[in-house]
């Protein structure tokens, strides 16, 4: 391993000499607090990564997979108590409780600091503290921001190396004066000299804490996903909503894709469009971002699968970047039928967590093949056969893989200035009421659609699977500011884009804010099966949306929004019958009015911070639904 391992008492390492004084001081403070045996400044090199992987194989944290089946890939099995984000242990600490809003767990900053100081004291004894500088976005890019995570988990370091641009390049930006967010992480499992380590150290006590005002993150007790890879939800969403609020941009739980229609009859190539889409956790962002279109000639390319930062470019048009550099995707349900692009992304260089191990040293999960293998080692490390009563892979088992391994990665996925955003899609997991697709009347109505998102609970977080919960903008567990203030940010950023677009001559032609659509892949028929085949067939929905942008697709006005006109979507080609299509697109004004009334009651919980425009849009929707009953 080439990374410089140093005892705390030795003089500065080469990396430390390039670290600015404030960073060096913070690292010193963290070391005094947590008492690690040694400190390693990570440079992000391949040698460093391999060294950490070898270390984890020795420790039993990683199992090397069969290099012929799955080159340079590994399996991690977490502690069974550490398998998903823990929303109940996630806190937003603001001086005034009102500033965290009703959707967050609030804690008093002073007493939380006291709690954390107690927990972090000596927490890294017997372990190495890794210092992990990272960039969210292309290093040097206009929308890019920086952070430094300290952690005692080599699994987290390697994950951060996949999910972010990590090491020397971001450190150089920080040394040159870029602002950085400190993120302190420990698994909370100090080792005494005679203690044997366990493969997945963690602590029953967990805290994932954000201080939005001071842009700080503290995380204790978990090594799993968003709890521990602090660049992801803690920084790129929770802290970033606070940054965006102050600076005039939006942090969104959104995938980012590029879609290109086939050439027309005269051979003129189709115009590529960029689309961002927000779906709650485990509702298909990765699938949509990597879609293999079921219709010939259409092309979908991937820019991101989980987070987008959206802000005005120099000409006032909204641009977006994917701040991440990898995918941390749900494995179960991923197959050559549902997501062939993901399957191709995962052929090598992947870390799998909590999937099952096959007898020939490869991985398997529910849904990967129709027939499960006759024997597996399940995610807990036990023998498993198809007769077993528990799943072989944990439902929130995940893969961690770099974006550049994706065969459909778009050439502009890491463009320093991002890409111009043409359309925004909101979607939930709704068995009833919500049609396959609708277009918002305008930006304001679109923000209402986003704020009204609700979804049946999935395995990505703790809680009863299947229960309907409201998940505004798919941000419920990820908003670091008062949710109503975040809605106001959406309204403001859109209004500014509209205003900039109206100024003649700014960019040659006038333009508008992105068009907004609402989708639902999950509506069910009376027999409980999905009415829409989804996956690659979703291109038909995207195609209609693109037609709306270019003015070539027809729509019918309904109280819910613009719905595809007769014959606009060739559902028969997707295997959907006329009767199924009618159910899929049915608008029941009475049920939707009830839903809107429920939304109105929900908004009451946000008090007088609810933007007047949003309340007005809801009142308008309710009026038109009632008059349609
Ligand atoms: P996070 O990483 O948790 O933020 O979630 P994600 O939105 O990236 O989730 P992911 O793409 O992994 O969601 C996977 C789930 O959505 C699986 O259960 C899929 O079967 C399901 N899914 C994705 N697309 C479709 C679709 O078009 N139709 C149906 N019925 N299910 C879908
Ligand atoms: C989600 O739950 O939305 C995820 C997974 O993307 S995690 O990074 O663990 O939050
Ligand atoms: Mn997510």
Q: What is the pLDDT of residues 413-441, one digit of tens each?
A: 999 999 999 999 999 999 999 999 999 99
Instruction: Please give the distance, rounded to the nearest whole angstrom, from the Cα atom of residue 277 to the centre of ligand 3.
Output: 12
Q: Does 546 score more than 50 pLDDT?
A: yes
Are 273 and 512 contacting, i.e. CB atoms less than 8 angstroms apart?
A: no
Q: How far apart are CA 294 and CA 572, in angstroms?
A: 13
Q: Is 327 in the pocket of ligand 1 (CB under 6 A)?
A: no
| Mean pLDDT, residues 33-43 taken together | 98
Q: What is the pLDDT of residues 158-213, one digit of tens each?
A: 999 999 999 999 999 999 999 999 999 999 999 999 999 999 999 999 999 999 99
Of 83, 227, 284, the residue with max ligand 1 atoms within 8 A of its CB, to mutate for a pocket test, comes to 284
Burial of residue 169, with CB atoms counted within 10 A of its CB: 0-12 exposed, 13-18 middle, 19 or more buried: middle
Element (H, E) at 170: helix 168-175
What pLDDT was estimated at residue 10?
39
Instruction: Please give the distance, rounded to the nearest whole angstrom, from the Cα atom of residue 111 to the centre of ligand 3.
Output: 30
Q: Tell me the Cα Rg of the chain.
A: 24
User: Which atom of ligand 2 lies at the shortest distance from residue 227's CA?
Assistant: 9
Instruction: Please give the distance, rounded to the nearest whole angstrom, from the Cα atom of residue 86 to the centre of ligand 3.
Output: 13
Instruction: Please give the distance, rounded to the nearest whole angstrom, from the Cα atom of residue 349 to the centre of ligand 1.
Output: 22
What pLDDT was estimated at residue 465?
66
Catalytic residue among 93, 283, 406, 479: 283
User: Which atom of ligand 1 lies at the shortest distance from residue 474's CA?
Assistant: 4
C-alpha distances in Å from residue 535, one per residue of 292, 302, 339, 400, 544: 8, 15, 7, 21, 16
Q: Is 286 in the pocket of ligand 1 (CB under 6 A)?
A: yes
Q: How far apart are CA 342 and CA 628, in angstroms?
A: 43
Q: What is the pLDDT of residues 363-420, one digit of tens each?
A: 999 999 999 999 999 999 999 999 999 999 999 999 999 999 999 999 999 999 999 9
Say what percent of the chain tops pLDDT 90: 90
What pLDDT was estimated at residue 503?
59
Q: Is 34 in the pocket of ligand 1 (CB under 6 A)?
A: no
Are 62 and 56 contacting, i.e. CB atoms less than 8 angstroms apart?
A: yes
Q: Is 238 in the pocket of ligand 2 (CB under 6 A)?
A: no
What pLDDT was estimated at residue 461?
67
What pLDDT was estimated at residue 282?
82
Instruction: Give me the residues paired with residue 180 across strands.
Output: 146
> Could you say which DSSP state residue 514 is in?
P
Task: Tell me, yes or no, if 202 is annotated catalytic.
Answer: no
- In terms of pLDDT, which residue wins out, 11 or 573? 573
Q: How far apart are CA 224 and CA 222, in angstroms?
A: 6
What pLDDT was estimated at residue 462?
65
Q: What is the pLDDT of residues 485-511, one digit of tens each?
A: 999 999 999 999 988 876 544 444 556
Q: Is 340 in the pocket of ligand 1 (CB under 6 A)?
A: no
Per the structure block, which two tokens stand in for 386? 């198809």
Q: Is 82 in the pocket of ligand 2 (CB under 6 A)?
A: no
Residue 181 neighbours by CB distance under 10 Å: 23
Q: Which domains does the chain have, with CATH numbers?
A: 16-61+84-248 (3.40.449.10), 252-324+410-586 (3.90.228.20), 327-405 (2.170.8.10)
| Protein residue closest via CA to atom 24 of ligand 1 | 284
Are 401 and 346 contacting, i.e. CB atoms less than 8 angstroms apart?
A: yes
C-alpha distances in Å from residue 416, one per residue of 44, 319, 410: 20, 11, 14
| Protein residue closest via CA to atom 21 of ligand 1 | 284
What pLDDT was estimated at residue 2?
36
What pLDDT was estimated at residue 508?
45
| Mean pLDDT, residues 260-274 taken together | 95
| Mean pLDDT, residues 509-531 taken together | 90
Smallest CA-to-CA distance from 236 within 92, 135, 136, 152 is with: 136
Q: Does 86 score more than 80 pLDDT?
A: yes
C-alpha distances in Å from residue 414, one per residue of 141, 236, 256, 565: 9, 16, 12, 37
Instruction: Please give the distance, rounded to the nearest whole angstrom, from the Cα atom of residue 536 to the centre of ligand 1.
Output: 12
pTM for the full model?
0.95
Smallest CA-to-CA distance from 30 within 112, 105, 124 is with: 124
Q: Does 7 score more than 70 pLDDT?
A: no
Are 105 and 90 contacting, i.e. CB atoms less than 8 angstroms apart?
A: yes
End-to-end CA gap in the chain: 69
What pLDDT was estimated at residue 500?
83
Instruction: Give me the residues paired with residue 423 across strands.
Output: 275, 515
Residue for token digits 């939304």?
599
Residue for token digits 């439902």?
395
């Amino acid at each position: 391993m080439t990374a410089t391992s140093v005892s705390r008492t030795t003089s500065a390492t080469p990396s430390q000499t390039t670290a600015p004084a404030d960073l060096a001081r913070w690292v010193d403070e963290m070391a005094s607090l947590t008492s690690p045996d040694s400190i390693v400044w990570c440079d992000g090199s391949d040698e460093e990564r391999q060294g950490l992987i070898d270390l984890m194989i020795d420790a039993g944290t990683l199992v090397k997979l069969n290099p012929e089946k799955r080159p340079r890939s590994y399996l991690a099995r977490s502690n069974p108590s550490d398998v998903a984000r823990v929303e109940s242990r996630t806190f937003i600490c603001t001086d005034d409780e009102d500033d965290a809003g009703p959707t967050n767990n609030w804690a008093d900053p002073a007493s939380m600091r006291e709690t954390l100081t107690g927990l972090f004291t000596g927490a890294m004894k017997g372990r190495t503290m890794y210092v992990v500088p990272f960039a969210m976005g292309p290093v040097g890019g206009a929308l890019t921001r920086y952070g430094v995570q300290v952690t005692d988990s080599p699994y987290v370091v390697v994950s951060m190396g996949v999910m972010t641009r990590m090491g020397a390049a971001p450190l150089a930006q920080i040394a040159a004066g870029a602002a950085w967010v400190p993120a302190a992480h420990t698994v909370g499992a100090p080792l005494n000299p005679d203690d044997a380590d366990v493969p997945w150290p963690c602590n029953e006590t967990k805290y994932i804490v954000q201080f939005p005002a001071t842009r700080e993150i503290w995380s204790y007790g978990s090594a799993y996903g968003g709890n521990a890879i602090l660049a992801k939800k803690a920084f790129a969403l929770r802290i970033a909503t606070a940054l965006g609020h102050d600076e005039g941009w939006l942090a969104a739980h959104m995938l980012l894709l590029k879609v290109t229609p086939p050439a027309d009859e005269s051979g003129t190539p189709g115009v590529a469009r960029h689309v961002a889409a927000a779906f709650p956790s485990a509702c298909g962002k990765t699938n949509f971002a990597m879609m293999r279109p079921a219709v010939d000639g259409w092309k979908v390319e991937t820019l991101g699968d989980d987070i987008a930062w959206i802000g005005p470019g120099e000409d006032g048009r909204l641009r977006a970047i994917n701040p991440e550099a990898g995918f941390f995707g749900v494995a179960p349900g991923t197959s050559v039928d549902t997501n062939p692009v993901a399957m191709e992304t995962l052929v090598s260089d992947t870390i799998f967590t909590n999937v099952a191990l096959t007898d020939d040293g490869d991985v398997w999960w529910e849904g990967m093949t129709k027939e499960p293998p006759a024997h597996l080692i399940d995610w807990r490390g036990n023998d498993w056969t198809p007769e077993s009563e528990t799943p072989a892979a944990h439902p929130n088992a995940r893969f961690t893989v770099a974006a550049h391994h994706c065969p459909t990665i778009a050439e502009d996925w890491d463009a320093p200035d991002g890409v111009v955003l043409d359309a925004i899609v909101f979607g939930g997991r709704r068995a009833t009421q919500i049609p396959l697709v609708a277009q918002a009347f305008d930006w304001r109505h679109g923000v209402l659609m986003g704020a009204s998102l609700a979804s049946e609970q999935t395995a990505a977080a703790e809680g009863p699977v299947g229960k309907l919960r409201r998940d505004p903008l798919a941000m419920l567990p990820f908003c670091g500011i008062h949710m109503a203030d975040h809605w106001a940010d959406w309204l403001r950023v859109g209004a500014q884009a509209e205003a900039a677009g109206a100024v003649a001559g700014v960019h040659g032609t006038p333009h508008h804010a992105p068009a907004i659509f609402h989708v639902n892949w999950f509506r069910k028929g009376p027999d409980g099966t999905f009415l829409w085949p989804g996956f690659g067939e979703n291109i038909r929905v995207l195609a209609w949306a693109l037609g709306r942008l270019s003015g070539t697709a027809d729509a019918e006005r309904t109280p819910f929004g613009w719905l595809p006109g007769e014959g606009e979507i060739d559902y028969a080609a997707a295997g959907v019958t006329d009767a199924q299509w009618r159910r899929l697109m049915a608008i029941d004004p009475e049920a939707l009015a009830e839903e809107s009334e429920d939304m109105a009651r929900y908004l009451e919980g946000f008090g007088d911070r609810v933007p007047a425009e949003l309340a007005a849009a809801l009142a308008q929707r309710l009026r038109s639904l009632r008059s349609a009953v």
